[in-house]
Amino acid sequence: MKFHSLLFAVASIIFAAVAANVNDIKADVAKISSLVTSLDRSVNDFPATGGTLSQGINIGSNVINLGSGLDKGTVDVKATPPFSEADAKAILGSFKSLLPTVLHLLANIITKKSAFEHLPFPGIAGLVRDALVKLHASTSAFENALIASDPGSVKGEAEAAKASVDAAFANAIKAFS
């Protein structure tokens, strides 16, 4: 009996150490916002002509970092109990504040397709498409986790925001297919 009590106590401590909370989610969204802004800036800075491989690699690194941030956010959301209405609204507000930057980023990637294709790297269009597909998968997983944790009162608004992002990703992926 003492063994079971000890095992339960140890398991509770371990679970408490790895369980995420709403503050972790808010921090994840803030980090994701920073990563989206970094990626958007690196795409903005990529010139219409004369872009360098180094600039392309910088964009690729920013894509990888954003994907990792989204994946961490997904894990944290799934480890967090469902959000209260107030927390869901705050998180949704933060997420929605990212929308203009995300939509600009994805439209800008389409606009700069020709510039990317002129990099001295064979098959760059396929690499960009693959990166967009992976980034969309990470984004969608994060959005789905957030929506699953939202109370019913904000689900519709969250789903509408997700639909906007999904449509922008679909356009960008199509442009590089």
At 2, is the pLDDT very low, low, confident or very high (cuts 50, 70, 90)? low
Query: For residue 105, what are its two tokens?
Result: 């980023």
SS3 content of the chain, % helix, strand, coil (to 5): 85, 0, 15
- Judged by DSSP in three states, 107 sits in helix
| CATH entry, 20-175, from 3.40.225, 1.10.3470, 1.20.1280, 3.40.50 | 1.20.1280
At 13, is the pLDDT very low, low, confident or very high (cuts 50, 70, 90)? very low
Confidence (pLDDT) at 11: 43
Q: What is the pLDDT of residues 51-77, one digit of tens each?
A: 999 999 999 999 999 999 999 999 999
Query: For residue 9, what are its two tokens?
Result: 């106590």
Reference 128, options 173, 171, 67, 167; nearest CA is 173
Reference 81, options 30, 22, 29, 141; nearest CA is 22
Reference 127, options 104, 72, 41, 119; nearest CA is 119
In this prediction the pTM is 0.87
